[in-house]
Structure 1
Amino acid sequence: MKIILANPRGFCAGVNMAIEALETALRHYGSPLYVYHEIVHNRPIVEKFQKLGVVFVDDISEVPFGGTVLYSAHGISPVIRKHSEERNLRAIDATCPLVTKVHKEAIKFARDGFTIVLVGHEGHDEVIGTMGEAPANMVLVEDAADVEALTLPADAKLAFLTQTTLSVDEAKVVIDALKLKYPQIVGPNKDDICYATQNRQDAVKKLVGEADAVLVLGSQNSSNSQRLAELARTNGKPAYLIDRVSELKDEWFRPSDTVLVTAGASAPEEHVQDCINYLCAKFGATVEPRVVREEDVSFPLPRELRVLTSA
Structure 2
Amino acid sequence: MSVASALLRGKAPRTTTVTRPRTRQLRPWYQNPPLIAGLGVTGLLVLVAILAPLISPYDPLAQDLLNARQGPSVEHWLGTDTLGRDVLSRLIWGAQVNLRIGFLAVLIPFVFGTIVGAIAGYFGGWFDIIIMRIVDIFYALPFYVIVIALVFVLGSGESSIYLAIALVSWTAYATIVRGEVMVAKQLDYVRGARLGGLPKWRILVRHIGPNVMSQVLVYAMSDIVMDILAVVTLGYLGLGITPPTPEWGSMIVEGQTFITTNWLMATIPGIAVVITSLGLSWLGDGLSDHLNPDRRK
* Coarse TM-score class (shorter-chain normalised): under 0.3
Structure in which a larger fraction of residues adopt helix: 2
Structure in which a larger fraction of residues adopt strand: 1
Normalised by the size of structure 1, how large is the TM-score? 0.23
Normalised by the size of structure 2, how large is the TM-score? 0.24
